[in-house]
């Protein structure tokens, strides 16, 4: 539908009414299309007005004032929303630039997690700004639910990019402080909601950007918790190597958890859904592999073992 100039449309309607009903019907409009429109609406519902001494009709004046105030509030709200959105775009662009500068050696996640870097001070600022902006999506959970995501598709896609870009940084901060499982002890609610809504939207068949077969590896790993899974695998592997027990006796044995982790990684690789930077020499994933390949009880004929030992990752793009 083409954009309509509603001011012009109302002006044309007013002119038509003047011709058909006479100028006296629009006394006091003073060429103001908003005021003229209010007068026409009142006429249409049969509200009688007086013209004594050319005094302004109080009802019309009050309605005009209210409409102008509502319009101003609406314009201000749109302006503030656009301003915040532009700020978020700038913050995301800064993180993307930082990610590119970390494309050698260890990669985005490990650069942030590693030794102190003055660049990280600025990255934390951008990360905090983005998180404050996106935490408000929690409010959407209280709204009446429909099939798929309660967020508009454009906002959901932007939120998904944010989650995949920023959550790895939260994971890095989490594992710098402790060895507890991030998903169960450290993950913020708004990440869970954004992931849940994306999955629901995909089931509803309404997210074309995540559908189809890729012919090139993604730059942002599809599972924003991938780094947490790698960190857990590294903890289990080091404990096995040192002959230590991990967790409660009734828990699943570490070697079985690691077998499942291998399958999980290969699933992402098969779908080109993991960033190639996980195979950088100093990445946490490659650190995990160096320890894991020395474990006597591991499955040496697994698909991931063949992929890593034959250095197939060198051709993964």
Domain definitions of the chain by residue range: 6-53, 80-209, 213-317
Q: What CA–CA distance (Å, rounded) separates 4 from 215?
A: 43
Is residue 86 very low, low, confident or very high in pLDDT (cuts 50, 70, 90)?
A: confident
Does the pLDDT of residue 212 top 70, yes or no?
A: no
Instruction: Indicate whether 11 pLDDT > 90.
Output: no
pLDDT of 32 reads 64
pTM, two decimal places: 0.73
Per-residue pLDDT at 35: 66
Backbone angles phi, psi at 310, to 5 degrees: -90, 5
pLDDT value at position 21? 43
Q: What is the pLDDT, as a whole number, of residue 317? A: 77
State the burial class of residue 107 (Cβ atoms within 10 Å of its Cβ: 0-12, 13-18, 19+).
buried
Q: Which two tokens stand for residue 40?
A: 């026409």
Question: Pick from 124, 129, 111, 257: which is nearest to 181 by CA?
Answer: 257
CA angle in degrees (0–180, nearest 5) for 228-259-250: 85
Question: How far is CA 181 from its chain centroid?
Answer: 23
Binned at pLDDT 50, 70 and 90, residue 153 comes out as: confident
At 75 the pLDDT is: 56
For residue 245 the two structure tokens come to 């027990």
Q: Give the lowest-confidence range in 25-39, 92-106, 239-253, 292-306.
A: 25-39
Q: How far is CA 295 from CA 56, 86, 299, 313, in A?
A: 90, 50, 9, 21
Q: 162 pLDDT exceeds 90?
A: yes
Q: Are the CB atoms for 17 and 10 separated by under 8 Å? A: no
When mean pLDDT is compared across 101-110, 142-151, 161-170, 290-299, the lowest value belongs to 142-151
Question: In percent, how much of the chain has pLDDT > 70?
Answer: 67
- Residue predicted with more confidence, 175 or 11: 175
Read off the pLDDT of each residue in 13-30 and give the average, rounded to a whole number: 45
- In this structure, are residues 58 and 29 in contact, taking their beta carbons and an 8 Å threshold? no
By CB neighbour count within 10 A (0-12 exposed, 13-18 middle, 19+ buried), where does 170 fall?
buried
Per-residue pLDDT at 215: 85
Using DSSP, how many helices (H) and how many strands (E) does the chain show?
12, 0
Question: Residue 27's pLDDT band (boundaries 50, 70, 90)?
Answer: very low
Kindly state the average pLDDT of the residues 139-143: 73
| Comparison of pLDDT for 282 and 49, the residue scoring more | 282
Mean of pLDDT values over 202-223: 76
CB contact at 8 A, 227 and 172? yes
CA dihedral angle for residue 281, residue 283, residue 287, residue 290, rounded to 10 degrees: -30
Helix axes 226-241, 254-270, angle to 10 degrees: 140
**pLDDT higher for 53 or 308?**
308
Q: Is the pLDDT of residue 69 over 70?
A: yes
- Return d(Cα 11, Cα 6) in angstroms, integer: 8
The enclosing H or E element of 259 equals helix 254-270
* H or E element at residue 241: helix 226-241
Regarding predicted confidence, which is higher, 307 or 145? 307
């Amino acid at each position: 539908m083409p954009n309509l100039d509603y001011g012009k449309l109302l002006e044309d309607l007013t002119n038509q009414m003047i011709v058909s009903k006479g100028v006296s019907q629009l006394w006091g409009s003073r060429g103001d299309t908003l005021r003229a429109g209010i007068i026409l609406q009142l006429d249409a519902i049969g509200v009688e007005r007086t013209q004594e001494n050319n005094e302004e009709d109080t009802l019309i004046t009050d309605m005009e004032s209210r409409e102008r105030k509502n319009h101003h509030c609406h314009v201000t709200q749109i302006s503030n929303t656009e301003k915040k959105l532009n700020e978020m775009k700038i913050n995301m662009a800064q993180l993307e630039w930082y990610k590119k500068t970390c494309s050698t050696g260890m990669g985005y996640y490990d650069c942030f997690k590693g030794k102190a870097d003055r660049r990280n001070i600025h990255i934390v600022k951008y990360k905090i700004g983005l998180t404050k902006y996106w935490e408000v999506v929690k409010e959407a959970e209280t709204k009446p639910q429909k099939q798929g995501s309660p967020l508009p598709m454009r906002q959901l896609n932007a939120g998904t990019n944010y989650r995949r870009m920023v959550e790895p940084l939260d994971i890095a901060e989490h594992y710098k402080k402790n060895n507890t499982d991030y998903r169960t002890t450290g993950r913020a609610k708004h990440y869970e909601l954004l992931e849940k809504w994306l999955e629901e939207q995909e089931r509803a068949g309404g997210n074309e950007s995540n559908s189809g077969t890729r012919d090139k590896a993604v730059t942002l790993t599809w599972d924003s918790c991938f780094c947490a899974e790698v960190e857990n695998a590294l903890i289990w592997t080091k404990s096995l190597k040192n002959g230590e027990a991990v967790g409660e006796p009734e828990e699943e044995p570490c070697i079985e958890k690691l077998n499942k982790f291998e399958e999980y990684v290969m699933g992402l690789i098969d779908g080109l859904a993991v960033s190639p930077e996980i195979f950088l020499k100093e990445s946490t994933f490659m650190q995990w592999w160096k320890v894991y390949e020395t474990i006597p009880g591991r499955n040496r004929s697994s698909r991931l073992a063949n992929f890593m030992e034959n250095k197939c990752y060198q051709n993964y793009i």
